[in-house]
Structure 1
Amino acid sequence: MKFHRYALLLLLLSSLFPPPCLCQLNDDVLGLIVFKSALLDPHQSLSSWNEDDASPCAWKFVQCNSGNARVSELHLDSLSLSGKISRSLEKLTSLKLLSLSNNNLSGPISPDLALIPTLDHLDLSRNSLSGNLPPSLAALQFLHLSHNALSGPLPDNMFDNSLSPRFLSLAGNRLEGPLPASLSKCVTLNHLNLSSNRFSGGFPRGIWSLERLRTLDLSRNVLSGEIPAGMASVHNLKELDLHGNQFSGSLPSEIGLCPHLSKIDFSYNFITGAVPESLQKLNELAYLSISNNFITGDFPQWIGGMSSLEHVDFSSNALTGSVPSSIGELKSMKFLNLVQNKLIGGIPSSLGECWSLSVLRLGGNAFNGTIPNGLFDMKLEELDVSRNEVTGFVPPPSSKLYESLEILDLSGNNLVGDIPPEMGLLSKLRYLNLSWNHLESRMPPELGYFQNLTVLDLRSNALTGSIPGDICDSGSLAILQLDDNSFVGPIPDQIGNCSSLYLLSLSHNSLSGRIPESVSLLSKLKILKLEENELSGEIPPQLGRLENLLIANISHNRLVGRLPAGGIFQTLDATSIDGNMGICSPLVKSPCVMNVPKPLVLDPYAYASQPGREARSPPRRTFLSVSAIVAISAAAFISVGVLVITLLNASARRRIAFFDNALESMCSSSTRSANMAAGKLLLFDSKSAAERLCNVDLNSVLNKAAKIGEGVFGSVYKATTDGTTVAIKRLLTSNRVQYQEEFDREVRILGKAKHPNLNPLRGYYWTPELQLLVSDYAAEGSLQARLHESASPPMTWGERFRIVVGTAKGLAHLHHSFRPPIIHYNLKPSNVLVDENVNPKISDFGLARLLTKHVVSNRFQSAMGYVAPELACQSLRVNEKCDVYGFGVMVMEVVTGRRAVEYGEDNVVILSDHVRVAVEQGNVVECVDPGMREYPEEEVLPLLKLALVCTSQIPSTRPSMAEVLQILQVINTPLPNRIHPQF
């Protein structure tokens, strides 16, 4: 009401006193007051804006033109404002600068903002603005709209009439489509940032004609193709960032003709060829990254002449040759990353002369020789020499490292000797990994001095002695891995001081004694691995209090007695507890041994010689001993058992004879086709189920009308009889097992595979010409249909994660509960059925056992994208890791909602490659199925990382399905400041 009274008063004054200046001032007040009314101002930042004021020039965050007293600039950055941008700002006809960045503004951007005739600077970055980008804004000199939720394509003619833009940033939105060709008309453009969008298509050739361009950032998009020639014309370019795209071809040879370049980033693309020699002409270059490409050729020997370099990243390429000693001339270099190449030779000792160096990563090459002592006499923060062929001793760190080194990774080499006691003086060390070497000493007690150590990994060495009791004095240790050494003695009671411990792995040592009760104090513990030791006694029942414990393995020790009543221990599988002396569990075959003292037995005749007592002679009658009675009872029990089994076998033979007669009667009917000879019907269910199946007319079932699917191993038909619906698979007509005995043996094995996440095999029909498998019919369809063909709403994250975990459980049962393991060979979404509760059931498992290898190899033609690479190589031994590969692809498909292979007009997208690039570029969220509105982002990344590990090209590096299940349990457990294991 007060505002309306003010407006009426303004109209009255305007009619009585019409000076133009007063009218203009009131327009500014009105425009800003209406703008304020549409906002939520939680901190009352705009409290000085009063509608009763004649002019807004004294208001906070407002600047006016001194000549006409009109509002010229409005700075409202970082005020936590929310709401929408009102059109009333159009009344500020002298406004030149509008900055509303870093707020919570939402809704679309009004195209009328561009109607303010004087506006040339608009900054709406870091808000939640949505909708399409108004083309009219392209006329502004400064346009900063980054980090919003703008979407849609940019019109190809958007910049046709825009001759004045100097700064344009649309980074961090959801814009898509090709880049407008009219960008080449922005001849005054100095800064162009279109990063972190979804722009596609090729590199816009016209950009090289923008001679005034200083900064070009097209990173984190899906741009592809080769980078065109013509770069030399942009001779003023200072920063070029194209990382995280799909550019191919070689690096531009003209790049050295842009003399002012200070930053170049081509990382995470598909670039090939050698490093251009013209780079050595860039005397001002400080940042150079070409990592994660396919760069080949020798490491540039001329790099030592680029004295301005501060950041060098050549990691994850295929560079060969050696690193020149001239690299020590890079006195300004702070960061050097050469990880994952094919570099050979020694590590240059001249690196110790790069006094500014703080991060040195040389892992994953073939460097040999010893570690230069000079590297331990620098102020490094991170040193990674892992996975090389380095020999010799671990150099003792110098005083310069004591206050700087945070990460030290020397794992996977051939280092020998002692762990230097000076390691304990590295006060800032957070990560220490010396695993997979040949270190032979005792663990130095100084390692307990670490105050900030989070990860200590000394696995797979030859360390001896006992585990120091003060190893956890700092209280910050989260991961302790001492597996596969020669440690002896007990686990120290002080292990309970490791209050932050998340993973404790002491397996494959010679530790003895009891498991300390203090382990129960490790409330954050998630993984406990104590297998393959000599631990004895009972497991402390207090360990049942470890509510966060998800994985435990105590197998192959000398433990006895009951498992703890609480926590995870009652759900452990046999592989986690077997190999002990007497664990009390129905999962193990060894006898249960309770570790309790034997009762005291008194001999009544022991006191015969004592005075005052009359000696008694033993009784003359001899009775049977307790052991004899037990033996007789056991023999009687066995005899009764043999008799019962004999009777049951006779009954079973009569029942099978009944089935054979019923089948013979059915198959001899006039409706039987000529090629259906009399066969054997065997069902794994009750007699009634057999009768229902025998009443089915095979000719009516095996026809096109009843056909519901077709796969690598045969066609599937739907059959209904007496209210029971089953699925019948007709195996391929050739290359099958030709002998009934062999077929029967293999099917019986598959029939024993019972699990909630398996679609059980109910029975089979066999003749030399026709072989059928009977299983449950899934009315809800397959995961393939739910993901790509169903009209129902998209599955939630919880439903998807349930499918992933259930499928993992089913596969783990096949792999770990049978010897030899049952291998699926054909895992993909069409073979994962989904019931009404969205629980997965794996079907068609183990069918390769019934067919020849020729048929299995032919599956490449029908399961593209799911096939493990080793199945294409006859020389490799194929095992259950091929199922792990298919599982990994299926996980990606569940998370992204995309098919394993997608065919476009001009290209083919392999899902595993797409996800790998997205993870490496940090664009994981953009991979998620857009149909899911809500999902925990903290679970997406580790789940996709697990999928990538499962699809490793090398089978031995893929985890087992048991390990996959353990990792899934960790992923789905909410943890503050969770430390993920290195998958």
Structure 2
Amino acid sequence: MQSHQPPSFSQADGVTRKLMRLFLFPFLVIILTTSPCTALNEEGLALLEFRKSIISDPFEALASWNSANETPCTWFGVICDSEGNVNRILLQGKGLSGTISSSLSRLNRLRALVLSNNSFSGSIPPEISLITTLWKLNISENALSGPIPDELGALGSLRMFDVSGNFLSGPIPATFFRICSRLRFVDFSRNNHTGSVPARLGSCDRLEGIDLSHNRLQGSIPEELGNLKVLGFLSLASNALSGSLPQSLGSCVSLTLLDLSMNMLSGQIPSTFTNLRNLSRFSAGQNLLSGIIPAEVLYHSALQTLNLSFNALSGSLPTSVAGPTALKVLDLSANHLTGSISTSVLSLERLQFLNLSNNQFSGPLPSQLTKLISIESFDLSSNNFTGQIPPEIGRLRNLSVLRLGSNPTLSGVIPSDMCETSDLTVLDLQKMDLQGGIPSSLTGCRSLLNLDLSHNKINGSIPIFLTNATRMKSLNLEGNLLSGSIPESLGNLSDLEHLDLSINMLTGGIPSALGDIKTLLFLNLSYNSLSGPIPRNGALQQFNASSFLGNAGLCGAPLGVSCSAVIATRSSQRKKSHVLGASAIAAIVTTAVIALGVVVIFVMNFRALKRIAEDRVYESTPPSPEASPILGKLVLFSKTLPAKYEDWEAGSKALLDKDSVIGSGTLGTVFKTTFDTGISMAVKKLETLGRIKNSEEFEEEIGRLANVKHPNIVTMQGYFWSPTMQLLLSDYIPNGSLYNHLHQQDAGFGQLSWKRRFEIALGTAHGLTYLHHDCTPQILHFDLKSSNILLDHNFVPYLSDYGLSKFSPMLDTYVTSRRFYSTLGYVAPEVACQSFRLSDKCDVYSFGVVLLELATGRHPVENSDSNCILLCDAVRSALERGRGYSCIDPQLGSAPQSEIMQVLKLGLVCTSQMPSKRPSMAEVMQVLESIKSGNDL
């Protein structure tokens, strides 16, 4: 019988090894693979969670953030203290995007968190308030939005707080300053903050810097700010602050910079400001300040920059107080200052920038100007100076910008040594009484970028030496007595953007070399005696009739004049001229007299003939039943419209009925058509096709408007084309136009409250922004005016007549702009004064005029003593004189004037003369939205 023996050690060892392989090995694998993660400390895990919220790291700044490390102290941007705790996170300017994770609140030893100059979005996590050790928080220059969390007021250790350059909104919470004994610097600038300046700021007695600029803050400047004895920097610029400058600010004796510009502050400059002995920069420009300029402020010993421009300051320049001054920049432009330039100003040897323009200074220009040995920019334009330009002015060796223009009583000649020692870049001598020729001394002005000698009595020819200034960008010689030909060498000015030689006596042809200037954006050669064909090479191809008007001898495509016909006519005239005798001359004179009489009779009867012709449009008899009015192509964009011919026949017969006319405009007459189904529609009967030559171009142009759908835009419903009639079909909006309600209340249209006007402005901005920024390709309106803003029964605005610029009459652009735009005051200056170089900034200008129209209740153009006054110029002038509130429509009664003033200012920004200075419609809409939200609080 076989016996059972226990297994040997070797056998047991084999079994053990099998068990280890089966059960223990997987656990070892788990331990070995997971041990690095479990080794990372809590702060590292918090940072990895922060990293998960980042969706873009273009520079791989966080590539070193490895979970295999025991601590994050070796990671990029992470700095630890001697005990291994995360002390600072410095990730500025790394292009990071995403949100800021609340996991950062677990870094309970963190001193500095710097995430500036990235693209973080979302809100500021309130959990950051749990980092009680935080000294520095800088999350500026991102895309953060929403309010400042109240919880951040618990950061009692905070020294520096910077959230500038975001999209934060709501008020600056007063609770943020409830524990601020250690706070040194706060920056809330360039956001959308509303409300007032917190008076609690005055309790943060260690504050050295405050920047609340470029927000939408309202109310007055708190007197409590005067408690801040160590405050060195205070900027409240670009808000809507009102009231007077507080006397208490004079107690901030440590101030070195004080910027209160671009608000609505009024009253006088406080006398206590003379106590600010350390102040080096003081700016209060673009406010409503009045009174005189204290001498102690102007000639302050430490002051280097003083900007009080665009206020209502009066009186003369104060005389100097004893002691040297450090003033380098002095801008007192656009005030009501009078008198002459005081000798005290001329003794400012360190002065580099002096702007006294747009005041009422008078008297001769002092010859002691050479005392200004450091002057670089000198602007005395738009005053009432008399006498001549002192020749000494050319000896200012550092002078770069000289503006003396718009002093109509400054006469004489241009000094012969104008560029003797200086490197002038800008020379503005426009609208004066200068005579003589252009002196050869300008040969030395090789650095000139801008030369403006327009509207003088300068004679002679255009000197070739002007082309020595090879970097010149703008040359304006308009409105002089210049003769001779246009120098071919002007084509060598390869950087030239603006050339205006209009209203002179220039002869000869247009040099084709001008076409070589690739940078040329503006060209005006109109009203001279130029002749020959208009070159169409290079840059000259972009300009049309408005650049060449008033030159009877010119021919070519822009003017629609055939050169061959002109040559034939002249040849015939030359042949006839050889056989003219006394009798022929007498016959010509007699014929001219008769022709003149015919012209006079024609002019006298033209208006009557025009009225008869217009009446005949409506007196046409309806077509017979056999002759269907549908003889062309009907295209409907909506399936809800009646498609039966008999419905359209019934509707189209209304076009022959004078009673169905509801309006007329630049492009034609508008009729209201109602079908048997009850649907009403607006039908525009085009009276011009402009640049459209055939049905294909017509359909292409209208077809691109078929997909325009927006709550503030009239929907295009279709079109009809035939060789003899072209119709545009669109929704009928029943409550008239904005123009009707603003200017025709005596005709039964209702008065508009400010709230309703503002909503109309906002809705119009939404529609125009859609056309500019959401349509591909971009759609320009180019005929925006209050009569093209239609209102429904709820006063919701609708833009009409958009995207139809190609249908403008086939006239030269000068006549077109004058007839259909300039008389209405909506046209941007670059359209009225040069060729049609369309851009969305033209619409922005027109919208700015509409804003001014809404705020003032006035027409865009008004007549006064046979002069036309543009509304934008009148409002701008009133604001410069400190009388902005007088522009507000009296019918608005108790409406919020501060809000209306904000809209007025926005309208003036939109109507800036230079297109580059106008905002986009998206920016305009954002400003209007911010004004609305500020008043909803």
Kept in 2: contact 1:718–1:777 (CA 8 A): no
CA distance in 1, matches of 2:249, 2:873: 44
Pairing of 1:689-708 with structure 2 (within 5 A): none
CA distance in 2, matches of 1:826, 1:451: 50
Q: What amino acid maps onto 1:720 in structure 2? A: F
**Farther off after superposition, 447-456 or 52-61:** 52-61
SS at match of 1:230: helix
Kept in 2: contact 1:834–1:840 (CA 8 A): no
Kindly tell me: are residues 122 and 232 of structure 1, through their superposed partners in 2, closer, same or farther at Cα, counting changes over 3 Å?
same
Kept in 2: contact 1:274–1:296 (CA 8 A): yes
CA distance in 1, matches of 2:619, 2:46: 95
**CA-CA distance at 1:527 after TM superposition:** 2.1
**CA-CA distance at 1:510 after TM superposition:** 1.7
Kept in 2: contact 1:463–1:485 (CA 8 A): yes
**CA-CA distance at 1:795 after TM superposition:** 4.0
**CA-CA distance at 1:406 after TM superposition:** 2.1
Aligned to 1:424: 419
Q: TM-score scaled to structure 1, two decimals?
A: 0.62
SS at match of 2:145: strand
SS at match of 2:168: strand
Kept in 2: contact 1:345–1:367 (CA 8 A): yes
SS at match of 2:339: coil
Is 1:869 the counterpart of 2:843? The answer is no
CA distance in 1, matches of 2:480, 2:851: 47
SS at match of 1:448: helix
**CA-CA distance at 1:174 after TM superposition:** 0.6
Q: What amino acid maps onto 1:320 in structure 2? A: S
Pairing of 1:843-854 with structure 2 (within 5 A): none
Aligned length: 717
Q: What amino acid maps onto 1:477 in structure 2? A: M
CA distance in 1, matches of 2:512, 2:37: 87
Q: What amino acid maps onto 1:440 in structure 2? A: Q
Structure with the greater relative contact order (CA < 8 A, sep ≥ 6): 1 or 2? 2
Aligned to 1:584: 562
CA distance in 2, matches of 1:100, 1:541: 58
* Residues 657-715 of structure 1: per-residue CA shift (max 9 Å, x gap): 984999xxxxxxxxxxxxxxxxxxxxxxxxx99986668999xx99xxx999xxxxxx9
**CA-CA distance at 1:179 after TM superposition:** 1.6
SS at match of 1:915: helix
Is 1:788 the counterpart of 2:763? The answer is yes
Is 1:126 the counterpart of 2:104? The answer is no
CA distance in 2, matches of 1:488, 1:223: 57
Kindly tell me: are residues 721 and 246 of structure 1, through their superposed partners in 2, closer, same or farther at Cα, counting changes over 3 Å?
same
* Residues 242-279 of structure 1: per-residue CA shift (max 9 Å, x gap): 11011111111111111111111111111111111110
CA distance in 2, matches of 1:872, 1:509: 29
**CA-CA distance at 1:528 after TM superposition:** 1.9
Aligned to 1:512: 507
CA distance in 2, matches of 1:533, 1:304: 49
**CA-CA distance at 1:539 after TM superposition:** 2.3
* Residues 77-128 of structure 1: per-residue CA shift (max 9 Å, x gap): xxxxxxxxxxxxxxxxx11111111121111111221221101211111111
CA distance in 2, matches of 1:166, 1:861: 47
Q: Select the residue among 773, 779, 794 that pairs with 1:797.
A: 773
Aligned to 1:313: 307
**CA-CA distance at 1:423 after TM superposition:** 2.3
Q: Select the residue among 494, 514, 518 that pairs with 2:489.
A: 494
Q: What amino acid maps onto 2:773 in structure 1? A: W
* Residues 440-498 of structure 1: per-residue CA shift (max 9 Å, x gap): 13111232333321111000112122111121123211111111111122222211211
Is 1:178 the counterpart of 2:153? The answer is no
**CA-CA distance at 1:509 after TM superposition:** 1.4
CA distance in 2, matches of 1:250, 1:325: 25
Aligned to 1:778: 730
Kindly tell me: are residues 483 and 363 of structure 1, through their superposed partners in 2, closer, same or farther at Cα, counting changes over 3 Å?
same
Kindly tell me: are residues 526 and 867 of structure 1, through their superposed partners in 2, closer, same or farther at Cα, counting changes over 3 Å?
same
Aligned to 1:104: 95
Aligned to 1:944: none
Pairing of 1:846-925 with structure 2 (within 5 A): 865=854, 869=858, 908-909=899-900, 912-916=903-907
Q: What amino acid maps onto 1:283 in structure 2? A: R
SS at match of 1:175: strand
CA distance in 1, matches of 2:120, 2:615: 76
Q: Select the residue among 342, 345, 348 that pairs with 2:339.
A: 345
Q: What amino acid maps onto 1:109 in structure 2? A: I
Is 1:438 the counterpart of 2:433? The answer is yes
Aligned to 2:789: 828
Q: Which blocks of at least 5 consecutive residues in structure 2 are unaligned?
A: 1-26, 576-613, 625-646, 664-669, 693-700, 703-713, 717-725, 739-759, 792-796, 809-818, 824-848, 876-891, 928-937
CA distance in 1, matches of 2:171, 2:139: 19
Aligned to 1:231: 225
Kept in 2: contact 1:165–1:186 (CA 8 A): no
Is 1:410 the counterpart of 2:384? The answer is no
**CA-CA distance at 1:788 after TM superposition:** 3.4
Q: What amino acid maps onto 1:296 in structure 2? A: S
Kept in 1: contact 2:299–2:327 (CA 8 A): no
**CA-CA distance at 1:144 after TM superposition:** 0.8
Kindly tell me: are residues 220 and 926 of structure 1, through their superposed partners in 2, closer, same or farther at Cα, counting changes over 3 Å?
farther
Is 1:366 the counterpart of 2:341? The answer is no
Kept in 2: contact 1:426–1:450 (CA 8 A): no
SS at match of 1:471: helix
Kindly tell me: are residues 191 and 423 of structure 1, through their superposed partners in 2, closer, same or farther at Cα, counting changes over 3 Å?
same
Kept in 1: contact 2:92–2:117 (CA 8 A): yes
Pairing of 1:450-469 with structure 2 (within 5 A): 450-469=445-464
SS at match of 1:222: coil
Q: Select the residue among 663, 668, 674 that pairs with 1:719.
A: 674
Q: Percent identity?
A: 27
Is 1:207 the counterpart of 2:196? The answer is no
CA distance in 2, matches of 1:599, 1:168: 83
* Residues 378-429 of structure 1: per-residue CA shift (max 9 Å, x gap): 2222111100111222233578733x32211110112222222322345532
CA distance in 1, matches of 2:120, 2:232: 31
Pairing of 1:427-826 with structure 2 (within 5 A): 428-536=423-531, 538-541=532-535, 543=537, 546-549=540-543, 552-560=546-554, 562-563=555-556, 570=557, 572=558, 583-584=561-562, 592-594=566-568, 659=621, 718-720=673-675, 727=682, 777-779=729-731, 788=763, 794-797=770-773, 799=775, 804-807=780-783, 826=787
CA distance in 2, matches of 1:399, 1:718: 71
CA distance in 1, matches of 2:873, 2:502: 25
SS at match of 1:176: strand
CA distance in 1, matches of 2:62, 2:850: 67
CA distance in 1, matches of 2:925, 2:266: 36
Aligned to 1:65: 81
CA distance in 1, matches of 2:776, 2:790: 12
Kept in 2: contact 1:337–1:361 (CA 8 A): yes
SS at match of 1:465: strand
Which structure dedicates a bigger proportion of its chain to helix? 2
**Farther off after superposition, 330-339 or 830-839:** 830-839
Q: Which blocks of at least 5 consecutive residues in structure 1 are unaligned?
A: 16-22, 71-93, 564-569, 575-582, 602-651, 663-687, 709-714, 730-749, 761-773, 809-823, 850-859, 887-900, 933-939, 941-983
Q: What amino acid maps onto 1:183 in structure 2? A: F
* Residues 931-966 of structure 1: per-residue CA shift (max 9 Å, x gap): 99xxxxxxx9xxxxxxxxxxxxxxxxxxxxxxxxxx
**CA-CA distance at 1:521 after TM superposition:** 2.3
**CA-CA distance at 1:438 after TM superposition:** 1.2
Q: What amino acid maps onto 1:446 in structure 2? A: S
Q: Select the residue among 379, 383, 386 that pairs with 1:388.
A: 383
